[in-house]
Amino acid sequence: MAGDLENGTRREVDGKECIYFDGYWIRYYDPPEDTLAARKRLIDHLTRRTFHHTEPGINTPGDNLDAARDAYEQETDPARKRVNAAMLAGALFNRATDIFTSVVGLAEKGVEISPTNELMRQCGRCFKEALELGHKVKHYSGEEGIDELWGEPLKAFTMPIASFYESRYVKIAQTMRDIDRIADVLVEVFSDDEAYKGFTRYVYEYAASAREESETMRSDNVIFQVWPRFVAAGERLVDFRPKRPPQNSVVARQRELEEQRLILAARNLISYLSGARVPMPKSTQDFVERCEAFKAWHDVPLAAGS
């Protein structure tokens, strides 16, 4: 039974090597050897991924750090200052990776750099300040901040690589939990509507493909099967149409339009989660509340002629 398993248990599940965390079996990958070069590759990947999933315009080059800081400190408008904070955080991230790249280059030439070296301390300070500003950074959808993702390069800098990989499995399990919660609440909205018979299958197919996408590294060739399944399942979900006669009333047509918007919102939010591979608690809770409000309206019988 899953309840009897300890986190970190490894086992072959459905033909793939998996590791168990918090109720989920997650595709397992061996961590690379813990070297400076491997750590640099990991940090570079995480930094690119962070910018990919966050709002545009904040990938500030590290050599613009001073200008980014000056603009942030001088801005007084709260909305603009938040964006300046995000741009400063981006510059700090890039300055940290620039420094670490130089450290790795020196190490490859035989120059020994200790963890207490000023370059390493400065690198750590940049990552730490970027993390502190990370709560100002939004997901590219504008849904919410995405602090969990923003902190990953700092973790990769400070933690052993094997420990970092383990922390990622925890976050993936939390992401899978949110995906399943969204799927469950969406199914509940239409559970008593005969026009949506068969809809449940499309929802859970998409949730399953999203969980698989969230656990799969892009460098793994299995992505050529996983990604098409995920995209196709999402298309089937939003293409679903209820099996009911054409609606003539204004209110009925409005309901159908809202149904389609809700399904599209669920597809998009699940896609954001599986891509970022970190939980999005505010967005998930907002969607749950939206579903609850919609169901209360959806379940009210339409008056004749309305």
| pTM reported for the whole predicted model | 0.88
Q: Which residues contact 28 (CB under 8 A, 6 or more apart)?
A: 10, 16, 17, 18, 19
| pLDDT tens across the length of the chain (306 residues) | 455 789 999 999 989 999 999 999 999 999 999 988 898 899 899 888 889 999 999 999 999 999 999 999 999 999 999 999 999 999 999 999 999 888 888 888 888 888 888 888 999 999 999 989 988 898 888 877 777 778 888 888 888 999 999 999 999 999 999 999 999 999 999 988 888 999 999 999 999 999 999 999 989 999 999 999 999 999 999 999 988 877 677 777 888 888 999 999 999 999 999 999 999 998 999 999 999 998 876 666 655 444
DSSP code, position 109: T
Residue 192 CA to residue 296 CA, distance in Å, equals 12
Q: Output the average pLDDT for the chain.
A: 90
Per residue in 164-184, pLDDT tens? 999 999 999 999 999 999 999
Phi–psi pair at 244, nearest 5 degrees: -145, 160
Domain segments of the chain as ranges: 36-158, 176-298
Contact 239, 206 (CB under 8 A): no
Structure tokens at 179: 């995906």
Q: How far is C-alpha 145 from the chain's CA centre?
A: 11
- Residue 44's alpha-carbon distances to 38, 49, 258, 279, 305, in angstroms, are 10, 9, 41, 22, 61
Q: What is the pLDDT of residues 261-291, one digit of tens each?
A: 999 999 999 999 999 999 999 899 999 999 9
- For 106, 188, 268, 282, 290, the CA distances from 263, given in Å and listed in that order, are 52, 12, 9, 18, 11
